[in-house]
Amino acid sequence: MTGLSHLGVSSVLSYVVAVLLPAFDALIPLVPSETAVIALGVATAGSADPRAAVLVLLAACGAFLGDNAAYLLGRRFGPAASRRVFAGERGARRRAWAERSLHRFGARMIIGCRFIPGGRTAITLTCGMVGFSQRRFVVATAFAAVIWASYAFLIGRLGGKAFEDQPWLGLLLALGATVVISAAIEAVRRARAWRLSSTGSSR
């Protein structure tokens, strides 16, 4: 019996996982929230039960709560949070990137960071540290949470449909698809950053 067999639209565990992992992932990036939501999609791929939509809603709520908790931590404990999350030279570069991105793209970056590896925590904490408008932050994270939860769950459903008799293959397919998409987004981001720095240095 695989671990996926314990997940489904009628499982209390599914509802708990859908809320808690996306919430904690904002503060502890090692928590595999996207993998969990994809797994829920895979596990429910053969079901037409409308309660599957509840799982998406709960995952979005968890992601929203986590983002806003990170914002409040950044706002209330800015220096301490900065020392903890942005320690060292690499951390300083991440914070500098987050501040530049917020200055350039604003709320769009809050939505986009959900699909950039390691971007979510850096952006949400930095928003609180620099005093980004809380109202705009709440609206942006609400949109981001719904888009992300729907995307991850749908990818899982598609993978599960492709391998209904072998759910683990469906999970691996879905995870592979998200890795490819995330890598493509990161490649585009790096290419744009390189182009902007090259343009700036040539002036």
Residues 33-80 have pLDDT tens digits of: 888 888 888 888 877 777 888 999 999 999 999 999 999 999 998 888
Model pTM score: 0.79
Confidence check: pLDDT of 18 > 60: yes
Question: What is the radius of gyration, based on Cα positions, of the chain?
Answer: 18
- Name the residue range of residue 72's domain: 3-201
Confidence check: pLDDT of 1 > 50: no
Q: What's the token pair of residue 159?
A: 């993978």
Q: Structural domain tally of the chain?
A: 1
Q: What's the token pair of residue 119?
A: 């971007």
Token pair 């928590």: residue: 31
Helices (H), 26-166: 33-43, 52-76, 78-85, 88-105, 107-112, 119-129, 134-162
